[in-house]
Amino acid sequence: MNKTAISISNIGKEYKLGEKIEYGSLREDLTNFFSNGIKRLVSKQGSTNGEEKIIAQDYFWSLKDISFDIGRGEIMGIIGRNGAGKSTLLKIIAGITEPTEGRINIYGRIASLLEVGTGFHQELTGRENIYLNGAILGMRRTEIDRKFDEIVAFSEVERFIDTPVKFYSTGMRVRLGFSVAAHLEPEILLIDEVLAVGDAAFQKKCLGKLNNVATSEGRTVLFVSHDMAAILSLCNRAVLLDQGKMVETGTTSDVVEKYFQSFSSSDAVPLDKRTDREGDGSVIATSLSIENADKGKPIRPSSKLKITIGYRSDNPVNNLGVEIRIRDFKTRAGILYFDSSASHDFPHNLPPEGKIVCVTQSNYLTPGRCVVDLTLYKSMVDTDDIEHAGQFDVLTEDVYGLSKIPSRNRSYYIVDYHWTIESMK
């Protein structure tokens, strides 16, 4: 038996900037075929739905000269900053997008969870979509019947299994999508950052399942995530991409360390000059500062934080949303999370340019370095998304006055507590 599950040789993907092209995957075409019955499979590659193509003069390589192999039963992580080409690579492997150059050999049946609801037909119920996805994977009805109860139980959507998927929340679609992909026995499973949509408990459940399908069931998992704690705990090897090129491949710890080192160069670049950002650009962040709310003092474990965000737009800004994610520098595990949509005092109307200030209560963070990811959005569409937009250090401090320093190796938060002994008499 071939010990290689996926062999990637000199893969490159070139886009023409400004050209509008719709790509249809085999999964999408089969979904339409099974759900409508009378429709023929029509290739959409190159279709513009009656619109004229925009002739583009500029070319952009999203990926260039990517080569590595993935062994059977291996969990491999793909990491990199926004725009590095991670999702493009998974889409090429999944067959959604054709590479411009290079070759991929795949030895096994693939299931993918790359975007919320991928492979689901919105008019069909959860039950019908489970059977549809099983059929696409080439499974017999008896095989799907055997797995059905397990899929539904894991997804935790039993109550809505006979409801059309179009009425599902984003979290419900993620739950069912992951459960279908993980339980219908594909030999290769592709997972993108989509798991970040679910709640913390379900994310932990999914990561446990990924580990089980690889170690116990011998399946191959290709996992894209910005959560370095998950990458370090799950993956034996990892690949680091940067601006479409493969920077490093090897043991997970070595690749993650290389990833962290890459941020040192970006710290000197002003936020409004950063190119490693995503979003439609209608409102962008121009600056970010994090300091002790008690002006002039360093950030200590018990400090209140003052977070100041500069922004710019061509027009007055209405209903802007701001999401701030503070993570540990080394593991990238989440520590604090702020979202303006949950705040009663965030302004709804803003001038075209200005600064927004967020002041927290005391946080009691353990000492160490933190990084800040920043997202601006309007109507749930990201206008600007910058990973590692800033960083700050929490000073080492004897919080309890016992000459003992709380370690971030075991926790991220410090609380005030007291121990006592109760007699059994």
Residue 305, pLDDT above cutoff 70? yes
| Strand 353-362 relative to strand 349-350, pairing | unpaired
Whether residue 402 is predicted with pLDDT greater than 90 in this model: the reply is no
In a domain, 407, yes or no: no
Has residue 388 been placed in a domain?
yes
Confidence of residue 351 (pLDDT cuts 50, 70, 90): very high
Region 137-147: what's the mean pLDDT?
A: 84
| 256 and 307 part of one domain | no
Q: Residue 49 has what pLDDT?
A: 47
Return the percentage of the chain with pLDDT > 70, whole number.
82
pTM of the model: 0.61
Domain range holding 92?
Answer: 4-261
Residue 415 belongs to some domain of the structure: no
Asked whether residue 366 falls in the same domain as residue 278, the answer is yes
- Number of domains present in the structure of the chain: 2
- Let me know: does 179 contact 151? Beta carbons within 8 Å: yes
Q: Is residue 354 within 8 Å of residue 311, measured between CB atoms?
A: yes
Distance CA 78, CA 403 (A): 41
Claim to verify: residue 159 and residue 216 sit in the same structural domain: yes
113-130 residue pLDDT tens: 776 555 678 889 999 989
Whether residue 412 lies inside any domain: the answer is no
Residue 75 in domain: yes
Q: What is the pLDDT of residue 28?
A: 54
More confident residue, 111 or 398: 111
Does 41 score more than 50 pLDDT? no
pLDDT tens readout for residues 361-370: 887 888 888 8
- Domain membership of residue 406 (yes or no) is no
pLDDT of residue 46: 43
The predicted structure's pLDDT at residue 253? 86
> What is the CB neighbour count within 10 angstroms for residue 64?
18
| pLDDT (0 to 100) of residue 424 | 77
Question: Is the domain of 324 the same as that of 186?
Answer: no
Strand partners, 68: 8
Per the CB < 8 A criterion, the answer to whether 280 and 252 are in contact is: no
Domain contains 154: yes
**Same domain flag for 343 and 231:** no
Radius of gyration of the chain (CA): 24
pLDDT band, residue 217 (cuts 50/70/90)? confident
What mean pLDDT do residues 390-412 have?
Answer: 73
Whole-number pLDDT of residue 404: 65
Same domain, yes or no, for 12 and 133?
A: yes
The yes-or-no verdict on residue 422 having pLDDT over 90 is no
Higher pLDDT: 261 or 96? It is 96
Mean pLDDT, range 64-69, rounded to an integer: 94
Rounded-to-integer distance, Cα 169 and Cα 162, Å: 15
Q: Are both 134 and 55 inside the same structural domain?
A: yes
Residues 290 and 147 in one domain: no
Q: Is the pLDDT of residue 266 over 80?
A: no
Per-residue pLDDT for 303 more than 80? yes
Distance (Å, whole) CA 383 – CA 118: 23
Per-residue CA distances from 71 to 12, 74, 107, 161, 384 (Å): 21, 6, 10, 36, 37
pLDDT recorded at residue 116: 54
158 and 291 in a single domain? The answer is: no
Q: How far apart are CA 299 and CA 293, in angstroms?
A: 9
Give the mean model confidence (pLDDT) for residues 185-202: 73
| CB distance 124 to 165 below 8 Å | yes
Which of 261, 279, 301 delimits the end of a domain? 261
Please state, rounded to an integer, the average pLDDT across all residues of the chain: 81
* Residue 140: both structure tokens together: 């017999």
Q: Are residues 311 and 227 in the same domain?
A: no
Residues 22-41 have a mean pLDDT of 50
Q: Residue 379 phi/psi, 5° resolution? A: 55, 40
Output the domain CATH number for residue 120: 3.40.50.300
pLDDT bracket for residue 176 (50, 70, 90): confident
Write down the pLDDT at residue 51.
Answer: 44
**C-alpha 251, offset from chain centre:** 21
- Whole-angstrom distance, CA of residue 172 vs CA of residue 19: 34
CATH number, position 302:
2.70.50.60
Residue 244 forms part of a structural domain: yes
Report how far residue 406's alpha carbon sits from residue 283's, in angstroms, rounded to the nearest whole number.
40
Helix (H) or strand (E) holding 150: helix 141-155
Calculate mean pLDDT across residues 17-31: 53
State how beta strands 59-71 and 349-350 pair.
unpaired
Terminus-to-terminus CA distance in the chain, angstroms?
Answer: 66
Count CA atoms closer than 13 A to 27's CA, side-chain side.
23
pLDDT in tens, 67-112: 999 998 899 999 988 788 998 999 999 888 899 999 999 998 887 7
Looking at 261, 291, 313, the residue that finishes a domain is 261
Q: Say if strands 368-378 and 381-394 run parallel, antiparallel, or are unpaired.
A: antiparallel
> How far is Cα of residue 231 from the mean position of the Cα atoms in its chain?
12
Q: Which of 241, 261, 281 is at the close of a domain? A: 261
Question: Are residues 101 and 185 both part of a single domain?
Answer: yes
**Shared domain check, 343 and 221:** no
